[in-house]
Amino acid sequence: MKYLYFTISILSFIIGCNKKKEQRVKPNILFIMSDDHAYQAISAYNNSLTQTPNIDRIANEGMIFSNACVTNSICAPSRAVILTGKHSHLNGKIDNHAKFDDTQLTFPQLFQENGYQTAMFGKLHFGNNPKGVDDFLILPGQGDYINPRFIGKERDTIITGYVTDIITDLTLNWFKNKRDKSKPFLMMYLHKAPHRAWWPSPEKFAEFYEKRFPEPKTLFDNYKGRGTAAKSAEMNIFKHMQYMHDSKVRPSTIEEMDKVEPEIQYVTGKGDIVKPTAERFYGPFNRANDEQKRKYNVTLDKISKDFKENWPKMNDKEKMKWKYQRYMQDYLATISSVDDNVGRVLDYLKDNGLEDNTIVVYTSDQGFYLGEHGWFDKRFIYDESFKTPLIIKWPNVIKPGTRSEEMVQNLDFAQTFLEAAMIDQPSDMQGESLVPLLKGESDQWNRNAVYYHYYEYPSVHMVKRHYGIVSKEFKLVHFYNDIDEWELYDRLKDPNEMKNVYNNPQYKKIIEKLTEDLKQMRIQYGDSDLLDKSFIY
């Protein structure tokens, strides 16, 4: 009897401790994701283009991943991978057009079932509402920068102001007025910026118009060292960026200048040829009210004046340079707002005693070209779009100011968050929890290479379908549907990926090994039936 009593007390002590432990350590998660944020535009990654002091705070207090990447470099598919923990071919959201099958399990649902209070504010881009979140206000589709409309649980609403500030106001308002202090939280704080057409707030528009930015080394790339796909993509700043819509030259100025070459054509999602119209400029601009327009007009006038005076005198190289500066001015201005607003949220956590027990993640749905290879946009397996920013802060777990070069993917996020929150990971999720890396236990991490597969073709920017394997040293790629071309890049010797060495005999052995590894990976992830007819348009 005495023995039984002793056993029971020990057992209840252990259970009590576990319960206590669980309550004590279940962390809050603040997941911050922006849309198309190039890691080159975060000063913790690259100090020479712009400054992002608040995002850098997360890096200084946490871990920055220099080889974080996506599985499929495009918006809605990346979000589906993040939420389901499964590659695109399994979750079905292979491109921006396909509908997300929301009967699938997404990780916020598991958080909700396991005692977390959950919320989502900003851009989702699924065409349907999120599951597993107690509160949400999301932008419809791509959403608008100026006076945006939001879809809510009960009703839709239009909110006056600039989208990045508004998404932050909504998030802070939830923290202040809706947070249930008895529960840990999962907050998904999702920016629209810096997505095309890069409309800054009127103040940042004026401020950044005065700045000049360094050009990337490969701005004038002629794609000689690459294959058909790089040559036929429609994302060259000089050729495909549009004067009105992107560079924000007034339509009336373009019309006036009959000597200016006709606007470059572009292709819509279904492969139709469409010419840009003034509507593409007025769509965003006309959302502004009179006061906002007045402020925007100060800078718009300057742009048009400069264009009118100088464009006709420029050669092609100078035009490329001009377009690049205009692009960077607006793109980086939108990021400056993101950074300011991230600072507001970090300050809130700090000032309200939430800092110590909150994991803060900063990432993007994929990377972006900021003039590298002459490009804007994303989609390719080449580094600037394949890689994505990933910075994580977790007080008392991650050693401040650390860096990881491991090959980690957005596929890993769901399992990472689940492990951190001590929630079981579904066995059919395909990533790996990053928790060992976060704890500094890199000997527990065995992955050497990752798998990539891009599908959206033919479509805007015309990047051909491809899949591939990427290790720290090499990148092997197969463009497979309307062409049959292989490319190999030596990532250490050729970090700018200027030379495809697939046909160089020196790499024969490496190619044999990588080809076999790629095949095994496709089998492992269940993506071996690449030419499944349902994937062909």
What does DSSP assign to residue 233? -
Helix, strand, coil percent values for the chain (each to nearest 5)? 40, 15, 45
Spell out, one character per residue from 341 to 380, where the chain touches ligand SGN: x when CB under 6 A holds, - when not: ------------------------------------x---
Closer Cβ to ligand SGN, 246 or 487, answer by number: 246
Q: Tokens at residue 246, please?
A: 């992107």
Of positions 29, 34, 36, 138, contacts ligand SGN by CB under 6 A? 36
b/e sequence 27-41, b meaning 16+ C-beta within 10 Å: bbbbbbbbbbbbbbb
d(CA 232, CA 230): 6
* DSSP string of 123-140, one letter each residue: ---SSSPPSS-SEEEE-S
Q: Tokens at residue 472, please?
A: 């720290």
In this structure, which amino acid lies at residue 351? Answer: D
Closer Cβ to Ca ion, 75 or 244, answer by number: 75
In the bound complex, what is the minimum distance in angstroms from residue 375's beta carbon to Ca ion? 15
Q: Tokens at residue 218, please?
A: 């490969």
Q: Tokens at residue 180, please?
A: 């249930």
Give 469's strand partners: 451, 476
d(CA 537, CA 523): 24
Closer Cβ to ligand SGN, 142 or 277, answer by number: 142
Which of ligand SGN, Ca ion, none sits in contact with 120, Cβ below 5 to 8 A by type? Answer: none
**Please, how many CA atoms are within 13 Å of residue 195, restricted to the half-sphere of its CB?**
25
Write out the binding residues for ligand SGN, residues 77-96 only, by CB under 6 A.
Answer: 96
Closer Cβ to Ca ion, 35 or 246, answer by number: 35
Write out the binding residues for ligand SGN, residues 118-147 only, by CB under 6 A.
Answer: 125, 142
Closer Cβ to Ca ion, 192 or 522, answer by number: 192
- Judged by the rule CB under 5 A, the positions of this chain that interact with Ca ion are 35-36, 75, 365
d(CA 373, CA 354): 43
In the bound complex, what is the minimum distance in angstroms from residue 166's beta carbon to ligand SGN? 19
d(CA 108, CA 419): 13
Whole-angstrom CA distances from 416 to 25, 85, 133, 295, 437 are 15, 10, 19, 44, 10
d(CA 504, CA 493): 14
In the bound complex, what is the minimum distance in angstroms from residue 506's beta carbon to ligand SGN? 36
In the bound complex, what is the minimum distance in angstroms from residue 237's beta carbon to Ca ion? 18
d(CA 83, CA 431): 12
Of positions 35, 134, 221, 330, contacts ligand SGN by CB under 6 A? 35
Closer Cβ to ligand SGN, 118 or 236, answer by number: 236
410 binding ligand SGN? (CB under 6 A): no
Spell out, one character per residue from 290 to 329, where the chain touches ligand SGN: x when CB under 6 A holds, - when not: ----------------------------------------
In the bound complex, what is the minimum distance in angstroms from residue 142's beta carbon to ligand SGN? 6
Which of ligand SGN, Ca ion, none sits in contact with 277, Cβ below 5 to 8 A by type? Answer: none
Give 476's strand partners: 469, 488
In the bound complex, what is the minimum distance in angstroms from residue 96's beta carbon to Ca ion? 9
Closer Cβ to Ca ion, 193 or 249, answer by number: 193
Whole-angstrom CA distances from 133 to 110, 119, 282 are 10, 5, 35
In this structure, which amino acid lies at residue 376? Answer: F
Which of Ca ion, ligand SGN, none sits in contact with 254, Cβ below 5 to 8 A by type? Answer: none
454: left (phi over 0), alpha (psi -120 to 50) or beta: beta
Strand boundaries in 140-295, DSSP class E? 149-152, 156-158, 185-190, 266-267, 273-274
Q: Tokens at residue 57, please?
A: 């705070």
461 binding ligand SGN? (CB under 6 A): yes
In the bound complex, what is the minimum distance in angstroms from residue 396's beta carbon to Ca ion? 33
In the bound complex, what is the minimum distance in angstroms from residue 311's beta carbon to Ca ion? 30
Which of Ca ion, ligand SGN, none sits in contact with 96, Cβ below 5 to 8 A by type? Answer: ligand SGN
Which of Ca ion, ligand SGN, none sits in contact with 461, Cβ below 5 to 8 A by type? Answer: ligand SGN
* DSSP string of 433-465, one letter each residue: --HHHHTT-GGG----EEEEEE---SSTT-PPP
501 binding ligand SGN? (CB under 6 A): no
d(CA 486, CA 472): 19
Closer Cβ to Ca ion, 75 or 229, answer by number: 75
248 binding ligand SGN? (CB under 6 A): no
196 binding ligand SGN? (CB under 6 A): yes
Write out the binding residues for ligand SGN, residues 176-195 only, by CB under 6 A.
Answer: 195
Closer Cβ to ligand SGN, 86 or 240, answer by number: 240
In the bound complex, what is the minimum distance in angstroms from residue 284's beta carbon to Ca ion? 17
Closer Cβ to ligand SGN, 125 or 453, answer by number: 125
CB 167 within 8 Å of CB 190 = yes
Of positions 55, 59, 68, 74, contacts ligand SGN by CB under 6 A? 74
Which of Ca ion, ligand SGN, none sits in contact with 196, Cβ below 5 to 8 A by type? Answer: ligand SGN
* DSSP string of 370-389, one letter each residue: SSGGGB-S--SSSHHHHB--
Binding site for ligand SGN (CB under 6 A): 35-36, 74-75, 96, 125, 142, 195-197, 245, 377, 460-461
